Amino acid sequence: MQMGSVCELRLTRKRWTICTIGLLLIFYKTKERARTNEHQEAQLTSENELSTSRLLANSSDFRKNLPAYLQGTQEGWKVNATLVSLIRKDILHFLDAERDVSVIKSSFKPGDTIHYVLDRRRTLNVSHTLHSLLPEVSPLKNKRFKTCAVVGNSGVLLKSGCGKEIDSHDFVIRCNLAPLAEYAEDVGLRSDFTTMNPSVIQRVYGGLLNDTVREHFVQRLRLLNDSVLWIPAFMVKGGEKHVEGVNELILKRKLPVRMAYPSLRLVHAVRGYWLTNKVNIKRPSTGLLMYTMATRFCDEIHLTAEFRLRSRLAPAGAR
Ligand SMILES: *[C@@H]1O[C@H](CO)[C@@H](O)[C@H](O)[C@H]1NC(C)=O
Ligand SMILES: *[C@@H]1O[C@H](CO)[C@@H](O)[C@H](O)[C@H]1NC(C)=O
Ligand SMILES: *[C@@H]1O[C@H](CO)[C@@H](O)[C@H](O)[C@H]1NC(C)=O
Ligand SMILES: *[C@@H]1O[C@H](CO)[C@@H](O)[C@H](O)[C@H]1NC(C)=O
Ligand SMILES: *[C@@H]1O[C@H](CO)[C@@H](O)[C@H](O)[C@H]1NC(C)=O
């Protein structure tokens, strides 16, 4: 499958989100490793640390912005299965995505108190609504896919025509409930796993305060077609009323989604893994969480990202 021949990425300065930021860190991690190993550096033009990640890219602008060792790697790309399995094992020391992707029903009862992951002094009470939506078992239980796509919502895919290409993956992860219907041609429609920060409800769906925005939201969730909606509900205080509103709406309208809420240890585990690779991040972005988790159940991970941000983020990410 040649990504290059089908779709083209247009770089745009306009919009970017946390979903893409994590992907940039991956390149820094990769670079760090490459630097420490000259022998490997020699192999970087064909098979490298990014064997698990292929890029959906084509424009010359895009190529110019790639780290030197990635330029000219678009053709003849092969996955190094040994390396994939090494990375997977390495990450498994820190987290098991199958377990940490979501809390499950048996972890809590209604009325239990949860300490927010990034603000331990504040607490949340598990409501009946939340509890009733918790999955019985991990949504990734025994899952294994040949190809996965992690699709950001940076706008980099607009006018790309990449939709079909993205939809052809065995598992498509989408970030932050980005709009789909209007851009199907460029971003595709297939959704297997969609993340949504609680803040999206305020920012994009007016807090679900009137019928118009509620309907808009319901239409978006219908596109999930019974796939996973992943809400990081236990990170920091502030989004709880939005999460509750979403949960109530899902129950009331019997919307076709399967809920997941990341475990309380996921963020720390992912951070721990990247720290050992000299990537110091206070709080992993959605994109980085998705990539790291996907190594557990995907043989190949294809990423979309906006590389213009690289320079902006490098100093913090690379140290
Ligand atoms: C995309 O890349 C392929 C292979 O490198 C090239 O033949 C094609 O012309 C490119 N398409 C565009 C639109 O740049
Ligand atoms: C695949 O990766 C492993 C581990 O880094 C490396 O030892 C091996 O040489 C690689 N295989 C190829 C064909 O490059
Ligand atoms: C959680 O429940 C306890 C006891 O029912 C109550 O005192 C507390 O205020 C609640 N906390 C929140 C954040 O709602
Ligand atoms: C509903 O809320 C949205 C977002 O706050 C606002 O833009 C829109 O005008 C409201 N519509 C109605 C009918 O009140
Ligand atoms: C919805 O999911 C079903 C079952 O996975 C699939 O066969 C169907 O193609 C999906 N429909 C859309 C519009 O994605």
Ligand 5 within 6 A of CB of 225: yes
Cα 300 to averaged position of ligand 5 atoms, centre (Å): 22
Position 98, amino acid: E
> Which amino acid, one-letter code, is at 59?
S
- Sheet containing 298-303, strands listed edge to edge, beginning at the edge strand earlier in sequence: 53-55, 298-303, 145-151, 171-174, 193-195, 227-230, 257-260
Per the listing, tokens 């820190």 go with: 94
pTM over 0.85: no
Taking CA atoms only, the protein residue closest to ligand 1 atom 13 is 8
Contacts for 250 with CB less than 8 Å, ≥ 6 apart: 133, 221, 257, 259
Q: Whose CA is nearest to atom 13 of ligand 2?
A: 80
Q: Could you tell me if 92 and 213 are in contact, meaning their C-beta atoms sit under 8 angstroms apart?
A: no
Q: Tokens 């140290």, residue?
A: 319
Please give the number of the atom of ligand 3 that sits closest to the Cα of 240. 13
Q: What is the pLDDT along the chain (319 residues), one digit of tens a residue?
A: 334 434 655 443 333 333 333 344 344 444 444 333 333 322 222 222 232 343 433 334 444 444 443 444 444 456 788 888 888 899 999 999 999 999 999 999 999 999 999 999 999 999 999 999 999 999 999 999 999 999 987 677 777 888 899 999 999 999 999 888 888 998 899 999 999 999 999 999 999 999 999 999 999 999 999 999 999 999 999 999 999 999 999 999 999 999 999 999 999 999 999 998 888 888 888 888 999 999 999 999 888 754 333 323 332 322 2
